[in-house]
Each structure stands twice: as structure tokens, then as C-alpha cells.
Chains A and B, each alone.
Chain A
Amino acid sequence: MLSFRRFLASLGPGTVWLVIFVVGPALILLAYSFLTRTDVGQLGAPVTLENWQRIFGYDALFQEWVPDNLRVLLRSVLVAAVSTFVCVLLGYPLAFYIAAQPPRRKNVLLLLLILPFWVNFLIRVYAWIIILRPFGLVPSTLAVFLGMTYAYLPFFVLPVYSSVEKVDWRLVEAAEDLGATPVRAFWAAIFPQTLPGLIAGVILTFIPALGTFIVSDLLGGSKTALIGNLVQDQFGQAGDWPYGAALSFLLLGAVLLGLWLYARLAGQKGLEELI
């Protein structure tokens, strides 16, 4: 068995990185969530569980239950899921299309795909307002879906593309040789090879979509507030950091639950390959 010191050494720089940039901030946030907001909007004593009660919709004395936050969370999950699904429908074939092009065209298409990143995200969302307003679509839920799909499509296409690039097409011939129709040959021989990319793409799309607040704020108006908007409000206008911290853990919980479910659905293997 490895000694404890060797175990520590084997963790290496990756662990240091994780502790500084992920675990540390999360712990600070966790600590905030047990504090109280002072009159001037700062963090202060006493230590309390009230924020956690509030995020689940209970008042201080557990006498009333108003699950508005949970409703917003559910809506956020739905909006993120639908946007991700649309990204899959549009992006999966797009990745194959790009991969099938001759090298020069392929590079141009990939450049076009990431070109929007050169423009500030906020400006691009404002651009959608200008595009959609003449049709009376701002604010609307449809506009939120459009904006989300637009924002996250490249994040979906890129990982899928990289696994399509690596596909061994000779397996199609092997499958057809063994009696598979072209359609079945695709599902049997090609689709499994793109699964790691597909899983990565779905995760890279779903998680940011779940936490977004800019798109819903600018394109959806107050009616389609998402969990991201709630968190942002607490850290911004409302100035209630402890409550915001607790809310962000609600979001984190939803993300982890989603990943766990997804890992079970997609099978352990896909995630292993991804990681």
C-alpha cells in the first residue's frame, strides 16, 4: 500500500489547482451561507440556518412553505435541457458536416464557429434583442431558447467535432459487410465512437446553460427569471450575500444531481473516457 506521503505527492499540481480555484472559493461561499446580512448589506453575525430554510421556501419558523425558488430551479433545468437538446439536434449533424469538408474549408468553418467568441457575450445578446424586437419576440421564452442555443452551440459542436475527426470509417464497411444497412451501420459503428464527444458536448452546454443569467435577463424579462438571475440579484441589487451563497449551492446541487443522473444514463464508460 502507498504511504500517506506518497499518496499526497501523487496528487500533484492538479490538486493544488483544484484546491485554490474550486474547493477554496466553494468553502468561502459555504461559510457565507451561514452568516447574516447586516443592515448596511454586509456580512455579519449571528451564524444562522435561515438562508438554507429560505432557499427551500420555508420561513424562519417553518410555518409557511412557498417553493418559488424550487419552481425557478425546475424552470431553469427545463430551459437548459431544452436548449441542450436543440444544440444536440443542430450541432451533431453540423460536426459531421464540418468533418467531411476538405481541409481548407474545414478550417474556415471552424473559424466561423468560434468567431463569435471574439465579440463580447453581452454585446452579442444585445444584438439578438435588435434582431428579434421587430418580430415582437423580446422579451419571450422563445427568445431565451434562441439566445441559449446560439450561445452554447459552439461548446457543443467542438467536442463532438473532435471525436468525429477520430472516427474510424472503415468500421462502416465492416458493419455493412456483416449485414448492417447503412443506417444500422451508423448506429452500430459510428455513433458509439462519437459518444465521448457527445457526452462532453452535452455537459459543456447544459451546465453553463443552467447557471446563465445574462440571456434570460436580457431576452426573457422578469417572467422567465432563472436560478442564475436569483443568485445574481442577491449578489447585486438585493445585496444579500448569505442568501445568494445558499442559492448558489442549490444550483450546484442541481448540477451535481444532473451529472450523476447523466452518468447513470450514459453509462460509466462514457464518462471514464471523457475524464
Chain B
Amino acid sequence: MLSADAAVSVLDVDKSFGSVQVLDDVDLDIRKGEFFSLLGPSGCGKTTLLRILAGFEQPDAGQIIIGGRDMTGVPPHLRPVNTVFQSYALFPHLNVYDNVAFGLRMKRVPAAQQRERVGRALETVRIGDLARRRPDQLSGGQRQRVALARAIVGEPQVLLLDEPLSALDLKLRKELQVELSNLQETLGITFVFVTHDQEEALVMSDRIAVMNRGRVEQLGKAEDLYERPRTAFVANFLGSSNLIEGTVKAVTPEGATVQTVHGPLMTHQGAHLKIGQSVTLSIRPEKLRMERDDETEGNEVRARVDDIVYTGAENQYLLKANGERLIVFQLNADLGADEDFDYEEDVALYLPPGNLMVLEEG
């Protein structure tokens, strides 16, 4: 892919370390000014891709275009990107001010301008009062802010963030998630954010590339990925899903009917399927309706409550239906409401055809 409004284009990039292929034909565009996340489990290649963008690694094949310039063979110090490292990598012998000023000094920015820009960067991340401290006198969250200030002070075209929040505790992480999103909007810099935390990616990103085993499984907006996962990996990595296997029985312009252990299930997707083809259907646990009475409007499955997990905001029901496990999340809306089900209770599950996704073979 290579489009005119791309801040970064990754073109058919391969990368191996020894016999292990870390990136397999990765091809994607990152738009100017967007908050773009690379999401995946450890070992999926997301950090390697980020390091290739920064110039610390060279791709075995393919090309990286940043700001319209081919970056092949361009060393890190000549690239219009800055990185926020997972370990922060602050210079221990320099105080906060000098850490932030480092990049400007390397680029020989005049002293007066340095002072002004460092001051502004420190204010942006709200640590103006810590300028004279040394890194070992700072808390984790403060170090994170210094790393951020140091990376944005040079006004890079693209800011690369390598799991920058992973070392912080949950509450601080949530705060910084919001701050990072706001910061990105204020600065208008393209952010490329690496994370293994799906919630973090969903909260912050304009678009997400879900990576698995060196490949991009699916790329899109958070809603797209969550509501319309295309592969079983995406369906399970972002939130949880019920996967139901079956064979295509009928195809109409409006969708398809799939024969499963639960009987025939209609879906509004799958107009492209062929009769007799085996497919996997996916439905989010909160998108099933659980009722006591059998309403017989089709797409219904009889099930029995196996276990109930109370998580505060919602109840998670683990059910057994035709020998398969299904999960249903139900909002804990009203106290003492009779929507609460009991162990061993027989229920009817309604799977709305619009909520049933047809997955690609992974």
C-alpha cells in the first residue's frame, strides 16, 4: 500500500532473526495525524516493526516510507521519528532538563530556542517543576513523562511508542491513556503505539493493526475490529467471543444459513459463501439474548447455566448447549431483578442474525 496521505508506509516487509520469521509480508499505511496502534501478543512482531520504523533494525525485504521519503538504509539519527522506549531509557547522568534538551543539542538548535522549547515540552507533559531532578529521583509515572517530553520536543513527524505504559500501575495507566490521547490530538503528530493490551488499544487508537505471528490479521477502527472481527484470532484477542463451527446450508443475498450443532443459524453476513463450505461463526457474549421462555423465532439455542461469574458491572454466564460451551455477559442493571439466572437453570439463547459474524479461515 502507498497512499498520498500516509505518514508511514510499510511495504511488503519481511524480517527474520536466524530461522525465526518475525515479520511476514507486512503491508500497511499509517495516516498523517492518526493514533495508530500495533496490537498483538508478545512475539507477534509488533516491537520489531516499531524498531524497523525507528531504524534500529533493517528489513530483510520490503520498504519503509516515512513522510514520502524512502528510509531504506537511513540510520536512526537521520529519521524524522522519535521513540518513547518501554524502559524509558533516560540518561541517568543528566537531569530532566538536559534529558529533554538532548535531541535539540544534537541538532544544534540555538540555546535560546532550546530553553523555550524544552520549557514548553515540560509544561505539555506537566512536569515543569521537575526540571532539575535526576531520573533516579523520579517516580515511574514522572519518568514516563520525561521520556515523552524528550521525544516530542524535537517535533518529529512520527512518534513511536513501545509499550510505554506497561510498567505503570493500573490507575496511573488509565490516567496516562487519556493524557496521551489528548496530547496526540493537541500536537497533531502521528503516533504509532505498540501494545499487547487490547483495552488500551481500543481506548486510545484511531486505527489498530492486530498482529499475530508476524502478520497483520486485521486493520481497522476499534469498532470495526470489535464488532466485525474477521478471524478467530482477532475475535478472541480483542475481548471474548463464542465460536461456532458449521457448514453452509443456504446462501441468499441477505446472508447465509449455517448448519451447526445447535441447529441451523442465520447470519446477515456470508452472501459470498458457497453451499457446503465449512465456516466458523462468532458472536460476542454480550450480543446474545438470554431468556426463560422459548419464543421460537429462529436462531435459538437451548442451554443450561453451568457457572456464574460476578464481575461487578456484569454477570458472566458460562453455559452448556448441545455439548458446547457458550458465554453470555449480562449487564447487572437492576438490583434484585428477575433477569438474574440460577445455576443449573434451563434457558433459551437468542443469537440475532446481525450479530453473528462469519470468520475467515485463519
Chain A residues in the interface with B (C-beta under 8 A): 168, 170-171, 173-182, 184-185, 188-189, 192-193, 195
Contacts and interface: CB of A to CB of B under 8 A. Distances in A.
B82 interface: yes
Interface stretch (B40-48, B102-110, B214-222): B102-110
A179 B106 CA distance: 6
B91 A189 contact: yes
Contacts of A185: 77
A69 to B, nearest CB: 42
Contacts of A184: 106
B102 A175 contact: yes
B341 to A, nearest CB: 52
Of the candidates B54, B91, B107, the one having the most CB atoms from chain A within 10 angstroms of its own CB is: B91
Contacts, number: 62
A59 to B, nearest CB: 53
B103 A179 contact: yes
Which 10 pairs, one residue from A and one from B, show the smallest C-beta to C-beta distance? Answer: A178-B103, A179-B106, A174-B89, A176-B76, A192-B93, A177-B83, A180-B106, A176-B77, A170-B89, A179-B77
Interface of B: 54-56, 75-77, 81-83, 85, 87, 89-93, 102-103, 106-107, 150-151, 154
B86 to A, nearest CB: 9
Contacts of B107: 179
A173 B85 contact: yes
A178 B82 contact: yes
Of the candidates A168, A174, A182, the one having the most CB atoms from chain B within 10 angstroms of its own CB is: A174
A170 B82 contact: no
Contacts of B91: 171, 174-175, 188-189, 192
Interface of A is mostly: helix
A173 B56 contact: yes
A175 B154 CA distance: 13
A203 B107 CA distance: 36
Contact of A177 (B54, B87, B90, B93): B54
Contacts of A181: 77
Given A176-B77, A178-B106, A193 B56 contact: no
Contacts of B56: 173, 176
Contacts of A179: 77, 103, 106-107, 154
Contact of A173 (B89, B92, B106): B89
Given A188-B102, A189-B91, A192-B93, A178 B154 contact: yes
Nearest to A179: B106
A44 B101 CA distance: 67
A173 B76 contact: yes
Of the candidates A178, A181, A184, the one having the most CB atoms from chain B within 10 angstroms of its own CB is: A178
Contacts of A176: 55-56, 75-77
Nearest to B89: A174
Contacts of B90: 174
A173 B84 CA distance: 11
Contact of B77 (A170, A177, A192): A177
A174 B85 CA distance: 8
Given A174-B91, A175-B102, A180 B85 contact: no
Contacts of B75: 176, 182
B210 to A, nearest CB: 26
A178 B87 contact: no
Contact of A180 (B77, B81, B83, B87): B77
